[in-house]
Amino acid sequence: MDYIKVIILGIVQGLTEFLPVSSSGHLELAKILLGSTSALESQGLLLTLILHAATALSTVVVFRKDIAELLQQMLRGDSEGLRFAGMIVLSMIPAVGVGLFFKDAIEALFNGNLFLVGGMLWVTAFLLFVANRPSSKNKRELSPKNSFLIGLMQAFAILPGVSRSGSTIATAIAMGINRSEAARFSFLMVIPLIFGSMAKSVLDAQSAVVAVPAGLLICGFVSAFITGIIACRWMIALVEKSRLQYFAYYCLIVGTLAISYGVFS
Confidence bin at 31 (pLDDT 50/70/90): low
Q: Dihedral of CA 230/232/235/241: which sign?
A: negative
Whether 13 and 55 have beta carbons less than 8 Å apart is answered as yes
Q: Say how many C-beta atoms besides its own lie within 10 A of residue 2's C-beta.
A: 11
Dist. CA 120–CA 129, nearest whole Å? 14
Please say if the pLDDT value at position 125 is more than 80. Answer: yes
Q: Dihedral of CA 206/208/211/217: which sign?
A: negative
List all residues 6 or more positions away from 211 whose beta carbon is below 8 Å from its beta carbon.
46
Average pLDDT over residues 183-191: 89
- Confidence at residue 57, expressed as pLDDT on a 0 to 100 scale: 92
Residue 245: DSSP 8-state: H
List all residues 6 or more positions away from 186 whose beta carbon is below 8 Å from its beta carbon.
150, 164, 165, 168, 169, 172
Confidence bin at 24 (pLDDT 50/70/90): confident
Instruction: Render pLDDT for 228-249 as a digit per residue (tens, 0 to 9).
Output: 999 999 988 888 887 888 889 9
List all residues 6 or more positions away from 44 whose beta carbon is below 8 Å from its beta carbon.
none
Whether 163 and 21 have beta carbons less than 8 Å apart is answered as yes
pTM of the model: 0.82
Residue 57 C-beta-side C-alpha neighbours within 13 Å: 14
Dist. CA 206–CA 191, nearest whole Å? 23
User: Measured between alpha carbons, how far is residue 247 from residues 134, 232, 254 in Å?
Assistant: 16, 14, 10
Whether 176 and 33 have beta carbons less than 8 Å apart is answered as no
Lowest pLDDT segment from 9-13, 30-34, 197-201, 215-219: 30-34
Q: Where are the alpha helices (DSSP H) in 77-175?
A: 79-101, 103-110, 114-132, 144-156, 164-174
- Confidence at residue 252, expressed as pLDDT on a 0 to 100 scale: 93
Dist. CA 26–CA 121, nearest whole Å? 10
Burial 162-174 (b: 16+ CB within 10 A, else e): bbbbbbbbbbbbb
More confident residue, 264 or 147: 147
Instruction: Render pLDDT for 70-99 as a digit per residue (tens, 0 to 9).
Output: 999 998 888 888 999 999 999 999 988 888
Dist. CA 23–CA 50, nearest whole Å? 15
Instruction: Render pLDDT for 199-236 as a digit per residue (tens, 0 to 9).
Output: 777 676 655 555 677 888 899 899 999 999 999 999 88
Q: State whether residue 140 is helix, strand or coil.
A: strand
